[in-house]
Chain A
Amino acid sequence: MSLGKTPVSVVNLGRVAYRSALQIQQHYIRQHFDSSNPTPNTLLLCEHSPVYTVGIRPVQYPAEEEQRLKDLGADFFRTNRGGLITFHGPGQLVCYPILNLGCFKKSVRWYVCEIEKTVINMCSKFGIKASTSPDTGVWVGNNKICAIGIHCGRYVTSHGLALNCNTDLSWFENIVPCGIVGKGVTSLSRELGRDVTTEEAAPVLLKAFSEQFNCCLVKADNSSTCECQAGKNSAGMERRYKSLHPPETYLLHTTQSVR
């Protein structure tokens, strides 16, 4: 039974432009301040085309640096999240939990720690021993497998985590990822020696998330992944989302069932 668990709707955006994902996050953030919405907690899953993003510390990345990275064929965005520079691209599973920490614990330090534990838990299900370090994120040895960078306003979170599945890791060679010199990056595929897609990783991440946060995940097509009855409003949210965003900016497909 899952009575009493906080419901969290899962929306799989598929391949979506980073700019669109920012707008979509703002839509779901606004849901939290709309008192008519009983279940605004949402977890967005997506993949981006190649893009470099930076956080609220912009000084280290002047216009020249921005242009250099754009000239390599990637997009570039300055965001309101924490953390320094990172890369998002095909083969990387990006997860944006838009949660009200009041439903869990009102501490960003706690929240980021839980995100790290979620990813470590998920890696262990693949047989990968991952860990934290003094640098926020999830590491396999000295190589980062998952970057984390979040924003929190009025206890509502946005941005989130980016897990390398079968990402082309050479994109990271153009930057100092997360501003950490001397350390590398890795992926599920590199660690396991086989191709691991975002489609394979997504349900495992969702399972780990629901366990770590003790929540009840509800898929966007309104079918529950557990017995709880929450998420009745998620179909309505999808209709509203589709009316807000042109179809070419998203590709909606349901995730595999989470057991």
Chain B
Amino acid sequence: MFSSFCPPVADVLLFLPSCCRCSPLSALLLLMLSSFCPPVAAPASLFCLCPPAASHPSLIFHCPAAALKYTDKHEWVRVEDGVGTVGISKFAQEALGDVVYCGLPDVGTKLSQSDEFGALESVKAASELYSPLTGEVTEVNNALSDNPGLVNKSCYKDGWLIKMTISVPEELDALMDEAAYERYIRSIED
């Protein structure tokens, strides 16, 4: 009898403010809904507080501050709502020097993991950029045309380079988390 009053579970999440989506309250709400609603295909991680969003791109669960994953070439990727935002790390921008030009791909460019997708110029040096994941470029940071220094000043925020779809979410598992990347940096500097 409740079926007419029971929207699909995923749609309920849309009405929750994002700050509540990972809260115990939302988990309890989902548990109640699932017990009244017709069976809905729900991944087991529905009842997890913070499932890795990239493992289940169809879910709109996400943690308020998505974690960064890093490549050994010092690109980072942040996944939110199934979209990966890509930039370079603080270590990388320091090693480059002041960025004066960003050569970035066109929207729609298809990239495989580790493909070269552009270059950053600094101190008369053009340094290649490598895609952390397989996917398609959906957006390019046009602010960098007039203000390439954002890559140095705000490498994790305003200095983002591209956004891309994530065709192979499993690739994220092989990337380094923050702790592993910090260890990697220390091993390079030694």
Contacts from A to B (Cβ < 8 Å)? 55-57, 80-83, 106-113, 136-137, 148-154, 178
Binds A, one of B20-28, B124-132, B160-168: B124-132
List chain B residues, Cβ under 8 A from A178.
124
Give the top 4 A-B pairs by smallest Cβ distance, nearest first.
Answer: A109-B97, A107-B95, A83-B124, A153-B128
List chain B residues, Cβ under 8 A from A81.
124-126
Q: Is the interface of B mostly helix, strand, loop or mixed?
A: strand
Q: Are A136 and B101 in contact (CB under 8 A)?
A: no
Interface string of B104-127 (1 = CB under 8 A from A): 000000000000100101111111
Q: Are A150 and B101 in contact (CB under 8 A)?
A: no
Q: Are B121 and A82 in contact (CB under 8 A)?
A: yes
Instruction: Please pick, from B97, B101, B116, the residue contacting A153 in the complex, using a CB distance under 8 A.
Output: B116
Q: Are B128 and A154 in contact (CB under 8 A)?
A: yes
> Contacts A56-B119, A153-B116: A109 and B124 contacting too (C-beta < 8 A)?
no
Instruction: Please pick, from B94, B96, B123, the residue contacting A136 in the complex, using a CB distance under 8 A.
Output: B123
Q: Are A152 and B126 in contact (CB under 8 A)?
A: yes
B16 contacts the other chain (CB 8 A): no
Q: How far is the CA of A137 from the CA of B123 in the complex (A)?
A: 9
Q: Are A82 and B125 in contact (CB under 8 A)?
A: yes
Q: Are A152 and B127 in contact (CB under 8 A)?
A: yes
Q: How far is the CA of A208 from the CA of B125 in the complex (A)?
A: 21
B179 contacts the other chain (CB 8 A): no
> Chain A nearest CB: distance from B113 CB in Å?
14
Q: Are A108 and B128 in contact (CB under 8 A)?
A: no
List chain B residues, Cβ under 8 A from A152.
125-128
Q: How far is the CA of A224 from the CA of B166 in the complex (A)?
A: 51
Identify the closest chain A residue to B98 (Cβ).
Answer: A109
